[in-house]
Amino acid sequence: MHHRPRTAVLALLALLSGCTSTTRTLPPSNEFQAAAARAFTSPDRACLVLVDDSTNDSRVLNPTQADRRFPPASTFKIPNSLIGLHTGVIPDPDHVLPWDGTPHQRELNNRDHSLRSAFAYSVLWYYQELARRVGQPRMQHLLESLHYGNADSSSGLTTFWLRGSLRISAHEQIAFLTRIHAGALPVSAHALQGLKDIMILAQGPGWTYRGKTGTYSGPVDGVHSDLGWFVGWIERDGRSLFFAANDSTGLNGPQVREQVEQALIDLRELPADWESHARQVDPP
């Protein structure tokens, strides 16, 4: 597989972390507009950002929404996993934390989980316990070191990514994913490899598909918002395509994921038969 020179990757990352007009934004092509229109029923209240690392080009549906910061909700499980692995409070992706017996609405949450299964099934209690083990001072320091959104954990160690102070835009989500992919973060190689492994949604000959959904319901700048997120990237044909999308029409994260996947298939970025290669993750 062809790898971009490290100097070129770092130059791209410097641009990505500096502003939202990061890479060269292409005028929306007819193909991109048609795919987005088919996938997103209300494109004026949604955004989709695609960044191709082989060309540094980006395509954006609704730049105004792509610039707006929202709580990351469960997409924060990406940096939270990275932090847990880097600090060693979670030694490896298959490390199991015992369920404490507190009943949850989702029956799947009412059992022990590993980091791998907690990521796959978006098990909140696992990540709240992970955050407690990291601790507030270390969590805040790492958020700042990772340059994740506004890096604000001030509203509470176990809730700041849910209904609290942490905010991130679609452009910033992609900037963070790009740094993960390039290994340009101040974390251990062990943590990066573990995260990349648990993020895999599907994998086939010559391609790998990674991502994470998130669902938020609550106030944003004083106005109630119901928001779904889906972020990730596809490695295929020696290149990587990063994506970030959110939709504020009341759809949840899995529904936004369906929209993004439809667009990616229409654009021939995601194999149409990807579901036959989906990774199966079983709780421990």
Alpha-carbon torsion 44, 258, 54, 240, what sign? positive
Name the nearest CA neighbour of 200 among 113, 280, 114, 84: 280
CA 73-209-188 angle, 5° bins: 70
- Assess whether 276 carries a catalytic annotation: no
* Pair of tokens at residue 40: 């997103």
Whole-number Å distance between alpha carbons of 203 and 198: 12
Name the nearest CA neighbour of 136 among 150, 154, 148, 118: 154
Whole-number Å distance between alpha carbons of 234 and 173: 15
| Contact criterion met (CB below 8 Å) for 253 and 214 | yes
Catalytic residue among 21, 29, 42, 74: 74
Pairing of β 57-61 and β 24-25: parallel
CA 272-177-174 angle, 5° bins: 80
Cite the active site residues: 74
